[in-house]
Amino acid sequence: MRPGRRRVVVARDDGGGWHVQPPRPWDDAEHMALLRDPAGACVVAGLDVPLGVPRAWAHAAGVTGFRQVLAGMRDGRWPWFAEPAPTAADIATGRPFYPRAPGGTSRGDLVRGLGLSGPGELLRACDRRVPGRVPAAAPVFWLVGAQQVGRAALSAWGEVVAPALAHDHVRLWPMDGRLPALARPGGVVLAECYPRAAYEWPLGLPRTGWSKRRQDDRRDRARQALHWAAGHLPSLRAAAPLQEVVDDGFGAGPDGEDGFDALMGALQVMAVMDGLLADMPDGLDPARTAVEGWILGRPAA
């Protein structure tokens, strides 16, 4: 969700099946307009960023829902919330993102600064690993390393999620309910998706032996994903421009992996919408998911 690398795959079902377009750069005017006014359509937007915060931090902050976090960013309750702490001494409940720059820092600083009992409390339930399938995600509040997601989260929350939720027809999954109940004509649903998880659920791509950073691997895995879709989403119609992009491995540039992930995330959303995957497992604690959220299609660990 970094502005320069945001990619969007639009799939429309007009009653005759999913028509899937190739990845495009995010256009703020066009795509925010779609969220503000779906023109009678049902829009489900899968965002590749965390939509939730760890429960242990929320308890310390007096927060019982993720919407309160977004409201606190807007109303000045935590004026330093979106400003990463430069040193361990600057970490506080109202300033949980750390560090501002790499070097001489550790997650232990974050645990101590937030008054948590251990590093496990930095993770949401849906960030934890699924043994043998998907490794643990990085903590939302941790800002360094190849897997960090905090900077993208702050950008998306402030620039996309909070402005969209200012409109009454926009809903936040799963905080506002299960997806089948929320996906209604004239409404918009914002949901967290995770393209890395889509490799496993539902696509079944190999876990090792390839990298989305290699053009040839992107081509081969995307072809495999479309082959899967032909058997499981028979209503899917891949537009000719999408097939051209896939056959080219999403280009040779460094942004090729962003377009690849956008397509994988879109297939994950379509699989949930078509009932191939449940949006979330039954039996999750609603008080916890109200704060932490969940990843669309993710099974319980």
Instruction: Find tokens 């600064």 and name the residue.
Output: 113
Output the CA torsion sign for 247, 251, 254, 259. Answer: negative
Output the CA torsion sign for 53, 55, 59, 64. Answer: positive
pLDDT tens per residue, range 20-46:
999 999 999 999 999 999 999 999 999
Residue 118 confidence class, pLDDT cut points 50, 70, 90: very high
Q: Across all residues in the chain, what is the average pLDDT? A: 94
Distance CA 246, CA 241 (A): 9
79 or 135, higher pLDDT: 79
Residue by residue, DSSP assigns 166-234 as TSTTEEETTTT--HHHH--TT-EEEEE--HHHHTTTTS---SSS--TTSHHHHHHHHHHHHHHHHHH-T
Residue 2 confidence class, pLDDT cut points 50, 70, 90: low
- Report the run of H or E that residue 267 belongs to, with start and end: helix 256-273
Residues 6+ apart with CB under 8 A from 275: none
Distance CA 105, CA 96 (A): 14
Distance CA 108, CA 56 (A): 15
CA-derived radius of gyration, the chain: 19
Residue 11 confidence class, pLDDT cut points 50, 70, 90: very high
Mean pLDDT of 109-137: 93
- pTM check: above 0.85: yes
Beta bridge partners of 44: 189
pLDDT tens per residue, range 193-229:
999 889 988 999 998 999 999 999 999 999 999 999 9
Tokens representing residue 149 in the block: 């997601």
